[in-house]
Amino acid sequence: MRVLVVGAGAIGGYFGGRLVEAGHDVSFLVRSRRAAELARTGLVIRSRLGDIDLSAPQTVTADVLRQPFDLVILSCKAYDLDDAMASVAPAVRPETMILPLLDGMRHLDALEARFGANHVLGGQCLISAALDPDGRILHLSDNHILSFGERDGSRSARVEAVASVLSSARFEARLSEAILQEMWEKWVFIATGAGITCLMRAAIGDIVAAGAAQLATGLFDECTTIATSRGFPPRPEFLERTRLMLTAPGSPLTASMLRDIERGRRSRPTTSSATCFAAAARTEMAARSSTSRSVMSKPTRLDAQGTRLRHKRALNACYNACDQNPRRGER
Q: Which is catalytic among the residues 77, 186, 298, 312?
A: 186
Backbone φ/ψ region at 286: left (φ over 0), alpha (ψ -120 to 50), beta: left
Residue 312 bears catalytic tag: no
Contacts of residue 10, Cβ cutoff 8 Å, sequence gap at least 6:
129, 130, 131, 137, 138
Residue type (1 letter), 66: R
Distances (CA, A) of 100 to 5, 69, 71, 120: 10, 15, 10, 8
Name the nearest CA neighbour of 117 among 53, 180, 210.
Answer: 180
Name the nearest CA neighbour of 296 among 213, 197, 185, 180.
Answer: 197
Q: What is the DSSP letter of 63?
A: G
CA 166 to mean position of chain CA atoms: 19
Bridge-based pairing state of the strands 122-131 and 71-74: unpaired
User: How far apart are the C-alpha atoms of 12 and 115, rounded to whole Å?
Assistant: 21
CA 170 to mean position of chain CA atoms: 21
Angle 72-180-70 from CA coordinates, rounded to 5°: 15
Residues belonging to the active site = 186
